Amino acid sequence: MPKDNQKRCCHSGMTLVETLVAMAISGLIVSAVYSLFQTHHRIAARQSQTSLMQQELLSAISLISEELRMCGFSAHGSPGFGFFHKPGTGAPDYGRGTTHDAVYCTLDWNADGIANEDGSGSLREHAGFRLNVANDGSPKTVPDNVLRKYDTGAVHWQPISTNIGDLRFTYFGAGGNIINDPHLNTARIRGVRVQITAIPDPSHAHFGIGNRTLSTMVWCRNTEMEKTP
C-alpha cells in the first residue's frame, strides 16, 4: 500500500459536520428524556397532593359528623346539653361559637349532669370546631388554613387538619327548615350540614391542582328531633 493511502487510513475519523450532527441528536434525546421525567414528576405530585387532600377531608368530616351526632346526649336525660354560642373573649370561651363558620355543642359523656371543663374524660363532653384560630380560640389575622378542635387542656384549640380553605355549617330545625341565625336559636337545632373545602399545599400551587369539597348531613340523635321547631 502506498504511504499516502496508509496515512489517510490511519488518521480517518468524524468530520466536524458529523460531530455537530451527533451532538444535536444527543441533545434532542436528553431533552426528550428530561421532559418525560418532568411530566411524570408533575403527574405523581398532582396525584399525591390530591390523595392527601381527600384524606384530610374524609378524616375531618368523619370526626365532625361523629361528634355532632352525639350533641345533647345525656344517659340520665339531664338538661342543659346541646348547642351553645359562647363568643366571650378569653379562654376557654374564645372561639366556642355556633355560627355558619363554627360549631360548638356539649354532651354528658360521664353521666354526671355537668359539661366538665377539666379532668379525665372532659374532652369527650365538648364538640367544637373552627378554622383559622389561635391556640386560645382568638381569630387569626392571617389565615393558616388549619382546622382545630376544642380541647379542655392547656391548649384549648388543637389542630386536626391542615390545608383547609373553607368550613361551612348549615343548621336545620326539626321540620327540616334552615335556621339562618343559629347563634340566636341554638335550642332549635336538630341537624347540621357540614361542608369542608381542602386546598393544595402552597408549595404545589404551580401544579394547578384544584380545590376539593366534601359535604355531609348530620342529624343529631339526642336533640329531641320528634318535636316541632
Reported as a single tens digit per residue, the pLDDT across 169-202 is: 999 999 899 999 999 999 999 999 999 999 988 8
Query: In this predicted structure, what is the pLDDT of residue 227?
Result: 40
Residue 229 has pLDDT above 50, yes or no: no
Edge to edge, the sheet with strand 102-106 lists 102-106, 126-131, 147-150, 157-161
The β-bridge relationship of strands 157-161 and 102-106 is unpaired
C-alpha 209 chain-centroid distance: 15
Distance, in Å, from the CA atom of 170 to the CA atom of 191, rounded to the nearest integer, reads 8
As a whole number of Å, the end-to-end CA separation of the chain is 114
Query: In this predicted structure, what is the pLDDT of residue 13?
Result: 64
Cell (9 digits) for 57: 377531608
C-alpha 45 chain-centroid distance: 18
Distance, in Å, from the CA atom of 42 to the CA atom of 20, rounded to the nearest integer, reads 33
Look at residue 52 and give its three-state secondary structure: helix
Exposed / middle / buried, residue 205 (Cβ in 10 Å: 0-12, 13-18, 19+): exposed
Q: What percent of the chain has pLDDT over 70?
A: 86
Question: What tens digit of pLDDT does each residue of 60-109 get?
Answer: 999 999 999 999 998 888 888 999 998 887 777 888 999 999 999 999 99
37-46, 77-86, 151-160: which range is least confident on average?
37-46
For residue 156, what are the contacts with CB-CB under 8 A and spacing of at least 6?
Answer: 91, 92, 94, 95, 135, 136, 137, 150
Question: What tens digit of pLDDT does each residue of 123-143 get?
Answer: 999 999 999 999 999 999 999
39-43, 73-77, 108-112, 225-229: which range is least confident on average?
225-229
